[in-house]
Amino acid sequence: MSSAGSPITHFAGFDWAKHSHHVVIVNQAGHVVAEFSFEHTQAGWQQWRQQAARFAPLAVAIETSQGPVVDQLLQTPDCTVFPMNPNAARAYRDRKAPSGTKSDHLDAWSFADALRLDSANWKPLTKQDPLLEQLRLLCRDEIALIEERTALINQLQAALHEYYPAALEAFEDWNCPGAWAFVETFPTPQALVSAGKRRWDKFLHTHKLYRTQTYEKRLALFAKATDFCASEALTQAKSRLALTRAKQLRLLESQLGDYRQQIEKLFARAP
């Protein structure tokens, strides 16, 4: 391993956490030459860079390959970052402490020593083109938002199941914004029945939900929506929750649309 033509003579093990990180640095003989902790703040990362500069060029082992910690490490001058998968990290930790003892010091030290001894075939992380990196992160965040949407849909359906089964039966696709709009427009069975056929027709056409093959079935369900009679307390409580989830879904869908547009723009610009 080398950086700017200079051989790496110091190896850091990086035990990261959400709010603070612990580092152990060893030399080629395996002796600990530095050990410190720092907060995940601007001042903390400045402390890290000052310490790293003392032992540059420096190799760093860390049990992750992405995230804000890796982003900071990749921006550290004369620092080569080597990600470790969790199974390998566990094996190196057990090598140092077969009893299963775990501590920040043990993790960081075992990672540093593993890097010193076994890293000949390890693959370092490299800085990506900023455009490609942004695209990768946006795609990952889009997936997280889609998973959040799925969770909200499940919560909406669970609420409807308790007081409004007619709504659940009327719509098969709850990924459809029209189904959320239905809950917003007719939040309770009583509101739906009192609205009447003219408003039902208007809603279905406005939200492009009118289908000849489902029209009669839906109208029959709408007309009998109050046949399932939940208590007033349950209806009021769960309709409020259903409305909240429907509004959250509408907002989230709008944000997902913004993500899709930005991703498409970046794809067009990507090399």
- The 10s digit of each residue's pLDDT in 197-248 is 999 999 999 999 999 999 999 999 999 999 998 999 999 999 999 999 999 9
Q: Where are the beta strands (DSSP E) in 9-158?
A: 10-16, 20-27, 32-39, 58-62, 79-83
Write phi, then psi, for 79 (nearest 5 degrees). Answer: -130, 125
10-16 sheet: strands from edge to edge:
32-39, 20-27, 10-16, 58-62, 79-83
CA–CA gap between residue 142 and residue 248 (Å, rounded): 16
CA–CA gap between residue 26 and residue 112 (Å, rounded): 7
Q: Look at residue 271 in the predicted model and tell me its pLDDT.
A: 65
CA–CA gap between residue 256 and residue 164 (Å, rounded): 28
Distance of CA 73 to the CA centre of its chain: 21
Distance of CA 3 to the CA centre of its chain: 33
117-173 pLDDT per residue, tens? 988 889 998 877 788 788 888 998 999 999 999 999 999 999 999 999 999 999 999
pTM for the full predicted model: 0.67
- Strand (E) or helix (H) holding 7: strand 6-7
Q: Report percent pLDDT > 70 for the chain.
A: 96
CA–CA gap between residue 66 and residue 128 (Å, rounded): 12
Residues 55-70, mean pLDDT to the nearest whole number: 92
Q: Report percent pLDDT > 90 for the chain.
A: 74
pLDDT band at residue 100 using 50, 70 and 90 as cut-offs: low
- Domains in the chain, CATH or no CATH each: 2-127 (3.30.420.10), 131-269 (1.10.287)
Q: Look at residue 104 in the predicted model and tell me its pLDDT.
A: 84
Separation of first and last alpha carbons in the chain: 29
Q: Look at residue 87 in the predicted model and tell me its pLDDT.
A: 87
Q: Look at residue 13 in the predicted model and tell me its pLDDT.
A: 95
pLDDT band at residue 99 using 50, 70 and 90 as cut-offs: low
